[in-house]
Chains A and B, each alone.
Chain A
Amino acid sequence: MKRFIICCFLISFSTAQVSLGQIKYEKEYRLKAVDIPPAARQFVDSLDFERRVRWYVEVSQQGKSIEAKSKRGGQKYSVEFDTTGRLQDVEIEVSWRDLPEALRKNIEQNLENEFKRFRIRKVQRQFTGKSEDVLNYLGQRGNGNRLTIKYELVLRGRKDGETDEFEYTFSAEGRLEKRAKLVFRNTDNLEY
Chain B
Amino acid sequence: MKKLVSFLFLCLLSTPLLAQSTYLAGLLPALNVNQKITGTWRLNYKVESRLLGAEGRFSEPTPLEVQHSLTDLAVVASRKVGLNNSLAGGYLIRLEKGGPAHRLIQQYTLVRSFDYFRLAHRFSADQTFSRTEAAEVRLRYRISFDIPLNGREVDDREFYLKINHEYLNALNEGKYGLEIRFVPSLGYAFNDNNKIEFGVDYRLSDFLTGSPENAFWLPLTWYIGI
Contacts and interface: CB of A to CB of B under 8 A. Distances in A.
B45 A12 contact: yes
Nearest to B107: A191
Interface in A56-114: 56
Give the dominant DSSP class at A's interface.
mixed
A188 B83 contact: no
Interface in A1-58: 1-2, 5-6, 9, 12-13, 15-19, 22-23, 26-30, 56
Contacts of B146: 189-190
B111 A191 contact: yes
Nearest to A163: B83
A6 to B, nearest CB: 7
Contact of A186 (B76, B150, B155, B225): B225
Contacts of A156: 83
A191 B120 contact: yes
A153 B191 CA distance: 28
Given A28-B155, A162-B39, A188 B225 contact: yes
B34 A185 contact: no
A1 B153 CA distance: 44
A192 B100 CA distance: 22
Interface string B145-175: 1100011111110100010000000000000
A9 B47 contact: yes
B92 to A, nearest CB: 11
B156 A27 contact: yes
A19 B194 CA distance: 10
B75 interface: yes
Give the interface size class of chain A: 20 to 34
Interface string B186-226: 01000111010100000000000000000000000101111
Contacts of B47: 9
B32 A188 contact: yes
Given A9-B47, A27-B156, A28-B151, A191 B193 contact: no
B166 to A, nearest CB: 13
B143 to A, nearest CB: 10
A19 B155 contact: no
B73 A9 contact: yes
Nearest 6 CB-CB pairings of A with B:
A190-B120, A27-B155, A16-B226, A188-B34, A187-B111, A163-B83
28 contacts: A1-B100, A2-B100, A9-B73, A15-B35, A27-B156, A28-B153, A29-B150, A29-B155, A30-B151, A56-B151, A56-B152, A163-B83, A184-B84, A185-B118, A185-B153, A186-B193, A187-B118, A188-B225, A189-B197, A190-B118, A190-B120, A190-B146, A191-B44, A191-B88, A191-B109, A191-B122, A192-B32, A192-B223
A16 B42 CA distance: 12
Give the dominant DSSP class at B's interface.
strand
Interface string B1-41: 00000000000000000000000000000001111000100
Contacts of B82: 163
A165 interface: yes
Contacts of B84: 184, 187
B46 interface: yes
B93 interface: yes
B77 to A, nearest CB: 12
B44 A164 contact: no
B130 interface: no
A15 B43 CA distance: 12
A163 B81 CA distance: 9
Given A17-B226, A28-B151, A190-B145, 8 more contacts: A28-B155, A185-B192, A186-B193, A186-B225, A188-B34, A189-B197, A190-B109, A190-B144
Contacts of B113: 184-185
Contacts of B86: 191
